[in-house]
């Protein structure tokens, strides 16, 4: 089987709202470092090192962060498929299968969510080896997590009777059970947690999808045919993706196929789906506490405390989750941490933006941090990466004053080029076409002071952009 091709497919969509306020729409949990120095996407990429070039399916807004994070861990070549909107896992996997089959119609797809934790990678690779022969023979393989508790938050996979213990036919998929039913599953030993990880041939998956979910198969093929292709970047069009039925691969294919198999997997898995599950997954001190960031705790037990950029102190708390970011703080009992989704819903209803963006916002050229604001003004700290450039743009409602704190910048203003060094500044009046470039090998740090009647991010008219933004 050593010559059998395996193409990793990493599903990098989703917003991870149950890990708010750290995880938000524009910077979701898969792009965060929560369980180590690497982000969850980077950890997932590490698990598939040595296989064929990975395919990553992600939200269009996250394209540059995904590419950058992949490059940081040595994956300079990935195929990146960007979705203008999420349509669940069935279309996402269909896109990847079409792309992979164009390169090698006999390749096998190893489909993994980008935001899961696996402690024993060697055990995972052994499970992949077990499932590969069935995949080559036309089977659709899923990996069932050996349950450690009667969990009611996961769906289950029931294995069929007979056959090898290492791989079994799937009897049925089961929705999230109540506690009593979950206990019966654990006692019976025939059920596994459904982790959403799969292994099947690209051509086989497309054939099964056409049979069981023809609408998704046809619309996904149309979207891929019409996609904009630039090197290893495949951009799907909004008008095509909007027409695709929304469905999971479980409902669309796996529950209907006669060729489904399950490989049991016991590898220290967690979907890190909430602050309480993150607490369970991380190493704790002698009092059962997890401290992330700049945290001091006194007399606390079984709590998780996260501090982002300043000291967070906790005294005498027990079974709490405390998460502090630059513009939002969460305090909740650990056993009610999943209810944070209700808070996110209220934030949306109130017309606020804390569910979408952090105070510090990542851009293709670097990042900015909104450090102060008031009536008719806003102050940002801006970092521009080496060799990067802001778009050539103008604003109808605001003027800007840039002060370089460190580095050297080239500013274009209405056709004029201005070189700025440390402690030098430039004024950009309303309506002026302008752009800033970093020609150096070190990041530029600058302070931007905006003033005007409207300071929203949508007051940008772009004339030219090296990142292809409209």
Q: CATH topology for 360-464?
A: Jelly Rolls (2.60.120)
The tens digit of pLDDT for each residue in 301-312 reads 999 999 988 999
- DSSP state, residue 32: S
- pLDDT at residue 1 above 60? no
In this prediction, residue 162 carries a pLDDT of 83
pLDDT for 181: 94
Query: pLDDT at position 40, please?
Result: 97
Percent of the chain clearing pLDDT 70 (strictly above) = 99
β-strands 377-384, 444-452: how paired?
antiparallel
Tell me if domain 6-270 and domain 360-464 are identical in fold: no
| Long-range contact pairs involving 422-431 (C-beta distance under 8 Å, separation at least 24) | 425/401, 426/401, 426/402, 427/399, 427/400, 427/401, 428/399, 428/400, 428/401, 428/402, 429/399, 430/395, 430/396, 430/397, 430/398, 430/399, 431/394, 431/395, 431/396
Q: What is the pLDDT of residue 155?
A: 94
Strands (E), 61-116: 79-83, 108-113
**Cβ contact 371:377 at 8 Å:** no
- Tokens read off for 150: 């009667």
- Higher-confidence residue of 213 and 458: namely 213
Residue 32 CB-half CA count within 13 A: 22
Instruction: Please work out, in degrees rounded to the nearest 5, the angle formed at the alpha carbon of residue 446 by the alpha carbons of 443 and 447.
Output: 155
| Mean pLDDT score, 112-122 | 96
Q: Is the pLDDT of residue 2 over 60?
A: no
Strands (E) in 188-303, as ranges, are: 191-201, 228-230, 233-235, 260-265, 269-270, 290-298
pLDDT band at 72 (very low <50, low <70, confident <90, very high): very high
pLDDT of 80 above 70 = yes
Q: pTM of the entire structure?
A: 0.90
Tokens of 346: 């209220």
Number of neighbours of residue 86 by Cβ within 10 angstroms: 16
- Residue 383 tokens read as 């970092």
Enter the tokens of residue 345: 């819903």
Mean of pLDDT values over 141-170: 92
pLDDT for position 3: 61
Is the pLDDT assigned to residue 468 strictly greater than 90? no
pLDDT at 302: 98
pLDDT at 441 > cutoff 60: yes
What does the pLDDT average to over 408-434? 96
Q: For residue 173, how many other CB atoms are within 10 A of its CB?
A: 17
What does pLDDT average to over the chain? 94
What are 364-406's pLDDT values in tens digits?
A: 999 999 999 899 999 999 999 999 999 999 999 999 999 999 9
Which percentage of the chain shows pLDDT scores above 90?
89
Q: Where are the domains of the chain?
A: 6-270, 285-349, 360-464
Alpha-carbon torsion (229, 235, 236, 239), positive or negative: negative
Q: Which residue has the higher pLDDT, 162 or 416?
A: 416
pLDDT given for residue 308 in this prediction: 87
Torsion of CA 208, 210, 213, 216, to 10 degrees: 120
CATH topology of domain 6-270: Spore Coat Polysaccharide Biosynthesis Protein SpsA; Chain A (3.90.550)
Q: pLDDT digits over 252-276, tens only?
A: 999 999 999 999 999 999 999 999 9
- Enumerate the H helices of 288-425 as residue ranges: 340-349
């Amino acid at each position: 089987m050593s010559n059998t091709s395996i193409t990793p497919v990493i599903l990098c969509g989703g917003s991870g709202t149950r890990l708010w306020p750290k995880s938000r729409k524009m910077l979701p949990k898969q792009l965060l470092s929560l369980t180590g120095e690497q982000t969850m996407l980077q950890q997932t990429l590490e698990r598939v090192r040595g296989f064929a070039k990975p395919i990553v399916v992600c939200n269009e807004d996250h394209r540059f962060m995904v590419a950058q994070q992949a490059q940081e861990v040595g994956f300079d070549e990935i195929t990146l498929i960007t979705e203008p909107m999420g349509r669940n896992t069935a279309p996402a996997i269909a896109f990847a299968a079409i792309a992979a089959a164009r390169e090698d119609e006999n390749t096998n797809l190893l489909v993994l969510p980008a935001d899961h934790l696996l402690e024993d990678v060697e055990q995972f690779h052994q499970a992949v080896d077990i499932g590969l022969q069935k995949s080559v023979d036309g089977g659709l393989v899923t990996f069932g997590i050996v349950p450690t508790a009667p969990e009611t938050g996961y769906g289950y996979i029931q294995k069929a009777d007979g056959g090898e213990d290492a791989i079994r036919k799937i009897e049925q998929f089961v929705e999230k059970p109540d506690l009593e039913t979950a206990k019966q599953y654990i006692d019976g030993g025939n059920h596994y947690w459904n982790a959403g990880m799969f292994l099947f041939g690209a051509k086989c998956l497309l054939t099964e999808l056409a049979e069981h979910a023809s609408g998704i198969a046809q619309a996904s093929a149309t979207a891929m045919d019409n996609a904009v292709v630039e090197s290893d970047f495949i951009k799907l069009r909004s008008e095509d993706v909007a027409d695709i039925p929304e469905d999971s691969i479980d409902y669309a294919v796996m529950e209907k196929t006669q060729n489904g198999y399950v490989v049991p997997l016991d590898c220290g898995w967690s979907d890190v789906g909430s602050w309480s599950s993150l607490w369970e997954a991380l190493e704790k001190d002698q009092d059962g506490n997890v401290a992330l960031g700049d945290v001091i705790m006194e007399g606390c037990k079984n709590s998780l405390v996260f501090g982002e950029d300043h000291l967070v102190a906790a005294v005498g708390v027990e079974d709490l989750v405390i998460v502090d970011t630059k513009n939002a703080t969460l305090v909740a009992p650990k056993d009610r941490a999943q209810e944070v989704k209700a808070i996110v819903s209220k934030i949306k209803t109130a017309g606020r933006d804390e569910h979408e963006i952090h105070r510090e916002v990542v851009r293709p050229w670097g990042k900015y941090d909104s450090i102060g604001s008031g009536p008719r003004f806003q102050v940002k700290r801006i970092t521009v990466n080496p060799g990067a450039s802001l778009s050539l743009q103008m604003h109808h409602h605001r003027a800007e004053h840039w002060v370089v704190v460190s580095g050297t910048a080239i500013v274009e203003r209405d056709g004029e080029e201005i070189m700025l060094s440390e402690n030098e500044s430039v004024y950009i009046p309303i309506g002026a076409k302008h752009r800033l470039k970093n020609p150096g090998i070190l990041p530029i740090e600058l302070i931007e002071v905006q003033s005007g009647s409207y300071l929203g991010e949508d007051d940008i008219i772009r004339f030219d952009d090296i990142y292809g933004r409209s």
